[in-house]
């Protein structure tokens, strides 16, 4: 039973390029969350998606950032025209849709460390 998978684990981009981060949730999970962790800061919520729907994107910058979770395939976080300030660790988490046995927790992927040069 594979956990949440993210790739790539490390990504280096020059300023102005596009970064594409992928997240495959745990089997059976249809809710995906993206977080950004800047150096010396905590995890910050970015966006919450279900299959083919963006439920809440209030934590995502209005420009250059977009996310999708298609019916088939992984969830994608896309950052266009990256800037140095985008350098961070980006974590994806997934969860079940329903309370099951009283447990409803998120499972995190290993993260993608983006470095913008």
By CB under 8 A, the residues from 1 to 60 that bind another protein are: 4, 33, 35, 41-45, 48, 55-56, 58-59
The answer to whether 23 and 111 have CB atoms below 8 angstroms apart is no
**Residue recorded with tokens 């999970």:** 29
In whole angstroms, give the CA distance from residue 108 to residue 110: 7
Q: How far is the CB of 88 from another protein (least distance, A)?
A: 14
By CB under 8 A, the residues from 77 to 116 that bind another protein are: 91, 93, 102-111
26 SS3 class: coil
Nearer to another protein, 55 or 83 (CB): 55
Q: How far is the CB of 67 from another protein (least distance, A)?
A: 14
Q: CA 94, 75, 34: angle at the middle one, nearest 5?
A: 55
8: preceding bond cis by omega (within 30 degrees): yes
85 SS3 class: helix
Q: How far is the CB of 44 from another protein (least distance, A)?
A: 7
Nearer to another protein, 17 or 110 (CB): 110
Binding footprint of another protein on the chain (CB under 8 A): 4, 33, 35, 41-45, 48, 55-56, 58-59, 91, 93, 102-111
């Amino acid at each position: 039973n594979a956990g949440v998978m993210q790739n790539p684990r490390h990504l280096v981009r020059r300023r102005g390029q596009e970064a594409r981060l992928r997240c495959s949730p745990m089997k059976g999970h249809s809710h995906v969350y993206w977080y950004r962790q800047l150096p010396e800061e905590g995890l910050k919520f970015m966006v919450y998606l279900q299959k083919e729907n963006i439920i809440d994107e209030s934590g995502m910058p209005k420009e250059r950032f977009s996310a999708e979770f298609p019916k088939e395939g992984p969830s994608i976080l896309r950052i266009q025209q990256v800037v140095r300030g985008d350098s961070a660790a980006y974590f994806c988490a997934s969860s079940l849709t329903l309370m099951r046995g009283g447990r409803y927790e998120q499972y995190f992927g290993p993260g993608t460390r983006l470095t913008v040069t």
